[in-house]
Amino acid sequence: MTISITSLRKEFPVSSGVEVAVDDINMSIEEGEFISVVGPSGCGKTTTLRCIAGLETPTSGEIVIGGEDVTDIPANKRKLAMMFQNIALYPHMTVEENISYPLKIRGVSRKEQHQQAKEAAEIMQIPELLEKHPGELSGGQRQRAALARTIVQDPEAFLMDEPLSDLDAKLKVEIRKEIQRVHKRVERPTIYVTHDQEEAMTMSDRIFVLNDGQIEQRGTPDELYSEPKNVFVAGFIGNPSMNFLDGKVVDVNRDSISITVEGTQFDFPAHIVGDVSAGDEVVIGFRPEIVNVYPDTEQGDLTGDLSLVERIGDRVLATIDRPSGEVRATVSADNPLDEGEPVSFSFDYSGLHVFDRR
Ligand code: ADP
Ligand code: MG
């Protein structure tokens, strides 16, 4: 079972003309893969998923599921299970009736419905809830019931649209693990839509980063983190996010680059993304992990005012205010840093990214 999406485009008519929600998306998802589609609100994630599900008709493009072109096949014939943010469990039905509902619609015998609902409830560790009504369940239990309902459908693929966004932080992590457990067990391709890069980074085999209806980059979590292809992906993936400074290229060759930033020249090993030559305005990106902060204005390369020091585990997150914007650094908690004081900072040059300005 694989899913392949070719040149998918979806326009919506709006009063001012058309809104292009999805603009020429290509994706291919392998057998058993867990894929996340991640991007900011309004970038086209839900529309993409709804097209795959058959709930929207693409303006153009092709969707092939398990070798079959399903572009013109209605949603109920696509053998996919969907899970949404607002899980609609039917309030007047018991948990068991909710879980087995897709089987009832298919005309499966009552005995078989009961058997499968029980098995799915056991997988989700909620067998004791089968006789209860959704109103009697906690948020996490409802989510487990909803997952059980997708399991009984024995779908060819799972499609999930921000299924965790209404849960508190602790439940998020718990249900995240459940989703991964179900995925490992059934080994069906799963497309998981989220605006939360952390969810995508922790759950996925591969991630598609969407922005403004288009795919900015695709790759494994590691690839997106260590080799972002542009400023958008670099800024979106990773928490706390990458820092950026504007610079101008003085000289560039195969293995090193010289750049001036606010009057200071830096020479470092080239890690260039895109097309960069001498004289170009560029963006230098560096993650908070590679920044060193000094409690004086002399030792580092650039200066600023330490506006905030937040403890995270055995590290602190230091925010440095500068005329051109904030720089954030995660440094050892032993570092003697005081909020409100002038500081200087430098970075590990081997970890700098240079992005061309698009
Ligand atoms: P996401 O799920 O990433 O937040 P959506 O796929 O919901 O994004 O929306 C993508 C874009 O398409 C947005 O600009 C949204 O306003 C627009 N859009 C989505 N659905 C419709 C619709 N039915 N009619 C008009 N515009 C829509
Ligand atoms: Mg959405």
The ligand that comes nearest to the alpha carbon of residue 47 is 1
Atom of ligand 1 nearest to the CA of 43: 3
pLDDT at position 358 = 65
ipTM score = 0.99
Query: Residue 192: beta bridge partners?
Result: 36, 160
Ligand 1 lined by 140 (C-beta under 6 Å):
no
- Residue-wise pLDDT for 160-169, tens only, equals 999 998 888 9
Please report which ligand is nearest the Cα atom of 16. 1
Query: Judging by DSSP bridges, how do beta strands 342-347 and 302-312 pair with one another?
Result: antiparallel
Torsion of CA 151, 155, 159, 160, to 10 degrees: -10
Of 203, 192, 163, 191, whose CA–CA distance to 65 is shortest?
191
**DSSP SS3 for 152:** helix
Q: For the chain, how far is it from start to end, CA to CA, in angstroms? A: 38
pLDDT value of residue 267: 94
Q: Put the strands of the sheet holding 315-322 in their side by side order.
A: 291-294, 342-347, 302-312, 315-322, 325-332
Q: Is the CB of 40 inside a 6 Å radius of any atom of ligand 1?
A: no
CA dihedral 102, 51, 69, 100 (to 10 degrees): -10
3-state SS assignment for residue 203: helix
Q: 100 near 131, Cβ under 8 Å?
A: no
Kindly give the distance from the C-alpha atom of residue 43 to the centroid of ligand 2, in angstroms, as a whole number. Answer: 8
| Ligand 2 is an ion; residues with CB less than 5 A from it | 46
Ligand 1 in contact with 43 (CB < 6 A)?
yes
- In this structure, are residues 69 and 52 in contact, taking their beta carbons and an 8 Å threshold? no
Q: What distance in angstroms lies between residue 23's CA and the mean position of ligand 2's atoms? A: 16
Point out the residues of the chain with pLDDT beneath 50: none
Report CA dihedral (147, 153, 154, 157) to the nearest 10 degrees.
-70
Residue at 27: amino acid letter: M
Nearest ligand 1 atom, CA 47: 6
Q: Set out the domains of the chain in order of their start, with CATH numbers.
A: 3-236 (3.40.50.300), 243-356 (2.40.50.140)
Which residues have CB under 8 Å from 121's CB, separation 6+? 95, 96, 99, 127, 129, 130, 145, 148
DSSP 8-state assignment for residue 134:
G
> Which tokens sit at 145?
């019931």
Q: Ligand 1 center to residue 219 CA distance, Å?
A: 24
Cα 276 to ligand 2 centroid, rounded to whole Å: 36
CB-ligand 1 contact for 194 (6 Å cutoff): no
CB distance 211 to ligand 1 below 6 Å: no
Q: Is the CB of 22 under 6 A from ligand 1?
A: no
H helices present in the chain, as ranges:
45-53, 95-105, 110-123, 139-152, 169-186, 197-203, 221-226, 231-236
Q: Which token pair is 188?
A: 């069906």
Provide the β-strand partners of residue 37.
193, 208
Closest ligand 1 atom to residue 49 Cα is 6
